[in-house]
Structure 1
Amino acid sequence: MSLSRRTSQLLRISDSGAIMRRYLIVNGFDGALTMLGLIMGFLLSEPAELAVISNACLAAAIALGMSGISSAYVSEEAERKRELDKLEGAMITPLDQSAHGRAARWVPILVAAVNGGSPLLISLVIITPLWLAQAGVVLPLPPLLLAVAIAAVLIFVLGVLLGRIAEVSWVRSGLRTLLVAGITVALIYMVSG
């Protein structure tokens, strides 16, 4: 059985597909808003070296990723163990070597990877203009403004995905997440003034 089919089977047995989809979007949104907030803070502060800004953003991205991985793993492992114990009690037999046992072991790892990988990857995409500018690549906008634009696009795309999942207007859903980003920027601007 291929890895893809085996993974699908584990997710189906554990009914974890929806959880992973939610984590992907919710934590991706957290990563995008966090990077947007950091970059806005730098835009509204005294000028700082690009290396300082990119290092701060990278550190935050890594912290978001590690937080997502560890929190999801610990909570999912406990939930899966609890469910497996209940099932074993009902069946009066150990299920460690069964598909349910494999799901209890592997699903927490998969969920943790999505939970931590989503904000990390989205954050890295957002701060890419900072690295490109440091490498001497000529950009169409200043790197911080380009990073803000990328964050806005990704936030809109995450809203579109939410709209598709909920089977509602994807435009409205995307605009709603952009509104959240706009409110975030406005609050940062107000407290920085």
Structure 2
Amino acid sequence: MSDDEKEPPLFGLDENGNFSIITSIRQQLELTEGLKIARRYMAMNAFDGILPVIGILMGGIISALVQPIELVFGTTFLAAIGSSIAMFVSGIASSYLTELAERRREFRALERAMLSDMSGSAYAMATKTTTRVVSLINGASPAAAVIITIAPMTLAIVGAIPLLDSMYLSVVAGVGLLFGLGVFLGKVSGEGKLIYGVKTLATGLVLILIMWLISWFTG
């Protein structure tokens, strides 16, 4: 078969017949309804990434009341980075294995229903792409949420702001990120953005309150 006779790609062609990898991925996700899954994973795991790091930051701030701030800052920063890496690896691995098993089960059921081998079909290709993309989002979203939350601490590392102030600012960044996530969920649901934002914001504030109460009861 000559170059002129090559079959067009299954996915990725726009209205003008030009190929785009972004268009290809989007079309494959639409075929498998992977966009809904990816969006759900992104929101859910970003939420799960922000809350633990706020807890780590609050633990560091409370510890700084009785310990040298230099020691507390370094430990807190490394703990946050470590949690980010752990969430990234765990998110990708767990999601990939889970999605792979589920997608294979659905694919085999579809083959039995169609009474044919669909291993070379567009749906088979889309299924593999969906599994990879969803797994990447599952790991990247909590890791990115942690990095964004502790971004103010990098200013302290370069000497731009005091160490303790950067930890307070990181807590504020995390709470603000929770509010933004709530607004996003409100937009997705088609309901009140502000209501969802306040709900996610309240979750962060409750966590902060619990940490202070634990600190108060333990002296």
Provide the TM-score with structure 2 as the length reference. 0.83
In the alignment, what sits opposite 1:94? 117
Equivalent of 1:26 in 24, 44, 63:
44
Q: Greater CA deviation, 67-76 or 147-156?
A: 67-76
**Post-superposition shift, 1:164?**
0.7
| Other-structure match for 2:197 | 174
Gaps of 5+ in 2: 1-11, 13-19
Partner of 1:165 in structure 2?
Answer: 188
- Whole-Å Cα distance in 1 between the matches of residues 56 and 72 of structure 2? 14
Match of 2:60 in 1: 42
Helix, strand or coil at the partner of 2:191: coil
Q: 1:148 aligns with which of 171, 185, 201?
A: 171
Gaps of 5+ in 1: none
Using the aligned pairs only, state the percent identity.
Answer: 32
Structure 1 or 2, whichever has the larger Rg, is 2
Deviation at 1:32, TM superposition (A): 0.9
**CA–CA distance in structure 1, aligned partners of residues 61 and 176 of structure 2:** 18
State the partner residue of 1:59.
82
Shift of 1:91: 1.4
Q: Distance in 1 between matches of 2:211 and 2:55?
A: 7
One-letter amino acid of the structure 2 residue matched with residue 109 of structure 1: R
State the Cα distance separating 1:108 from its structure 2 match. 1.1
The Cα RMSD (Å) is 1.6
TM-superposed CA distance for 1:53, in Å, is 1.7
Q: CA deviation at 1:170?
A: 0.7
The alpha carbon displacement at 1:172 in A equals: 1.2
1:120-147: CA deviation from partner (whole Å, max 9, x where unpaired) = 01100111121221122237x8110110
Q: Distance in 2 between matches of 1:6 and 1:95?
A: 19
By relative contact order (CA 8 Å, sep 6+), the higher-ranking structure is: 1
Q: How many residues align?
A: 193
Aligned to 1:6: 24
In 1, Cα distance between equivalents of 2:136 and 2:116: 31
Whole-Å Cα distance in 2 between the matches of residues 103 and 78 of structure 1?
A: 15
8 Å contact kept, 1:51–1:134: no
Instruction: Tell me by how many angstroms 1:74 deviates.
Output: 0.9
The alignment's TM-score, normalised by the length of structure 1, stands at: 0.94
